[in-house]
């Protein structure tokens, strides 16, 4: 097994608690599914949100998915003037036999614009 980092992002339409939780749950679920991961494969997940998202901690969505024993942390992205607004990002550190080239990074909704080269 190797430790790999998996990136992902999604965009929400508004700073609404339910929308943040729903979009984050969708993102976490997609990362797990596309990379054929179970919760025991997760080492940790770092979530970030753009400064315009303050209604809820994205990590709560992961907890609600049953990832209660995975270390989770939330942070705020730097406020770059031309950055895409209302974006939630994650970086998951995982144990996986997949080579780095086979890791599936996940960009959903409007966040596809961030990485058109690898978005699926």
User: How many domains does the structure of the chain reveal?
Assistant: 1
- Quickly state the pLDDT bin for 38 (edges 50, 70, 90): very high
Q: Catalytic residue at 89? A: yes
Determine which helix (DSSP H) or strand (DSSP E) holds 96, and give its type and residue range: strand 87-96
Helix (H), strand (E) at residue 32: helix 17-34
pTM reported for the whole predicted model: 0.94
Query: Would residue 14 count as lying in a domain?
Result: yes
Assigned domain for 119 exists: no
Does residue 66 sit within a domain? Answer: yes
Q: Is 107 an annotated catalytic residue? A: yes
Which residue range(s) make up the domain with 75? Answer: 2-114
Determine, yes or no, domain membership for 42. Answer: yes
**Of 19, 22, 74, 98, catalytic:** 74
Active-site residue, from 19, 22, 77, 98: 77
pLDDT in tens, 49-83: 999 999 999 999 999 999 999 999 999 999 999 99
Rounded to whole angstroms, the Cα distance separating 34 from 60 reads 21
User: In whole angstroms, how far apart are CA 27 and each of 35, 52, 80, 81, 99?
Assistant: 12, 19, 23, 25, 22
How many whole angstroms separate alpha carbon 101 and alpha carbon 18? 34
Q: Is the pLDDT of residue 86 over 90?
A: yes
Asked whether residue 120 is domain-assigned, the answer is no
| Residue among 34, 98, 109, 115 flagged as catalytic | 115
Residue 100 inside a domain? The answer is yes
The CATH number of residue 24's host domain is: 3.30.1330.40
Indicate if 74 belongs to the active site. Answer: yes
Q: Among this protein's residues, is 63 annotated catalytic?
A: yes
């Amino acid at each position: 097994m190797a430790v790999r980092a998996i990136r992902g992002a999604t965009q929400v339409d508004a700073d609404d608690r339910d929308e943040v939780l729903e979009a984050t749950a969708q993102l976490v679920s997609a990362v797990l599914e596309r990379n054929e991961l179970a919760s025991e494969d997760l080492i940790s997940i770092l979530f970030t949100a753009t400064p315009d998202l303050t209604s809820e901690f994205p990590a709560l969505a992961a907890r609600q998915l049953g990832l209660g024993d995975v270390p989770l942390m939330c942070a705020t992205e730097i406020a770059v003037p031309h950055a895409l607004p209302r974006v939630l990002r994650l970086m998951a550190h995982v144990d996986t036999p997949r080579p780095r080239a086979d890791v599936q990074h996940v960009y959903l909704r409007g966040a596809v614009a961030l990485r058109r080269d690898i978005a699926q």
